[in-house]
Structure 1
Amino acid sequence: MRSLIRSRRREHKALSLVLALALGTPFPAVAAAEAAAATAGAEEQAREKFSEGNLAYDLGEFDRALKAFSEAYRLKPLPAFLFNIAQCHRQLNNPSRAAFFYRRYLALSQEEPANADVVRELIAEMDTKARVQDEQRRERERFARDRELQKAREQAALAEARANESKLAVNPSAAPPEKNGASEALAMQVPDASVKTQADASKPWTRRWYVWAGVGAVALLAGGAVWMATAPDPRDTTLGTVGR
């Protein structure tokens, strides 16, 4: 089938050449006409894909719109298609890809587009979102590693506990002696009275809490007596005084 198609194409070219010679038309002009026809066909297909992409975009079907705009650019590489492709990636939450196509749109445009300022703002926005996505991805990866590490530790601890249980089942005498935890805790909480007495005896009397409490009380009384003796006549208050 393919050989038949190729044979017909060769026949068509040969016929075109004969017709061109018969009409006095140079063969390069025929080739140019064929190329122009092919270009027109590709442009028409690109228009169809563009219309398909616009319809899909308006319907929120951004995957289908992205595919249509990409095919349109392959048929006719117009920079405007790159902007549409970038818009689809932005809607699909692919900020790094969106920023890439926005930049290609500006770079391949022969003149600065009318929406160049808006596109630059979109590039900055997409770059920021891409960095946030990278940080979130690294955080998820770190959390997954920590979770796997914790899981491995728990499995190792469980395996060790089972191994100890197996050892005890084979040789119960290998179990460590149990300690009376309550008595040990009580012994730690109750200090030795003789140690406390010796410690108090070794301190000078001015550093003992009960001595300082008494000294403080005496000093307070003395200070009060001095103040009462030297204070001026008391002033009347609106509440009066007790006993008056």
Structure 2
Amino acid sequence: MRSSTHSRRSERKALGLVLALALGTPFPGVAADATVSASETQAREKFSEGNLAYDLGEFDRALKAFSEAYRLKPLPAFLFNIAQCHRQLNNPSRAAFFYRRYLALSEGEPANADTVRELTAEMDTKARVQEEQRRERERFTRDRELQKAREQAALAEARANEARLAATPAAPAPEKNGASDALAMQVPDASVKAEASASKPWTRRWYVWAGAGAVAVLAGGAVWLATAPNPRGTTLGTVGR
């Protein structure tokens, strides 16, 4: 509250200094001259325009008018008015700059010097806060863009995988007679078996050895029957009467 009150008072004091130019009263340190130059006349007009715009809250227009007035007549009081416009426009770094220029270029120490220093410190603090907020917004934007890029890369990779799968040829379907053909390849034909059997030597044919074994068994049985003792009867006979 105290800073705001001082600010309004300093505004009135500074504008009062510049108003002296419009009324034809010389500023401190400026010699009186009966002949008013064209640049001073234009400076008065720009000052009046800036004052009117400032009172109406049109701070962009007031800033432009005070800046043009300073170019026409570079008086430090215009710098204070420019600083005030930047403060109202929420440009704290620019406001602090022009407050400092006002103090640096004023002859001696102006009456509102203490208030201007307070305003300068206030604008510096506000400028730092704005800078931190700006960096935070940049970090947020950068992180969001990075996340978006990752999502797009993942989507592109998924689409590429789908395209590769679609381009891969499918395995040919087996024909209907494929199983029987395979079975036919595994089971030899009867003629093939016969040819294979015929091509074997007689000593490796199974039926030759089977026949020989049967003959040997029969011969052995005949010999045993011829040489065996008389066998006993197979019944008990009859009991005497």
| TM-score normalised per structure 2 | 0.54
2: CA distance, partners of 1:170 / 1:40: 85
User: Are 1:115 and 2:112 an aligned pair?
Assistant: yes
- Aligned counterpart for 1:89 among listed residues 81, 86, 90: 86
Structure 1 position 74, deviation (Å)? 1.1
In structure 2, the residue matched to 1:20 is none
Rounded Cα–Cα distance in structure 2 between residues aligned with 1:172 and 1:135: 58
Higher helix residue share: 1
The one-letter code sitting in structure 2 at the alignment partner of 1:48 is: E
Q: Does structure 1 residue 78 correspond to structure 2 residue 75?
A: yes
AA at the equivalent of 1:50: F
Displacement after TM superposition at 1:91 (Å): 0.7
Name the SS for the 1:93 alignment partner: coil
Deviations 1:19-73 (A, max 9, x none): xxxxxxxxxxxxxxxx984x52221221111111000000011111011101111
Aligned mates of 2:165, 2:131 — CA distance in 1: 51
Aligned to 1:41: 38
Q: Distance in 2 between matches of 1:45 and 1:169?
A: 78
Instruction: Give the secondary-structure state (helix, strand or coil) at the position aligned to 1:110.
Output: coil
Q: 1:142 aligns with which of 139, 142, 147?
A: 139
Per-residue CA distance 1:130-168 (angstroms, 9 max, x = gap)? 111111111111111111111111011001111111222
Q: What is the root-mean-square deviation of aligned Cα atoms in Å?
A: 2.0
Alpha-carbon distance between aligned partners in 2 of 1:126 and 1:80, rounded to the nearest angstrom: 19
The total of aligned residue pairs comes to 139
Identify the structure with bigger relative contact order (alpha carbons < 8 Å, sequence gap 6+).
Answer: 2
Letter in 2 for 1:106: L
Q: Provide structure 1 residue ranges, at least 5 long, that are not aligned to the other structure.
A: 1-34, 175-244
Deviations 1:169-227 (A, max 9, x none): 233879xxxxxxxxxxxxxxxxxxxxxxxxxxxxxxxxxxxxxxxxxxxxxxxxxxxxx
What percentage of aligned pairs have identical amino acids?
Answer: 87
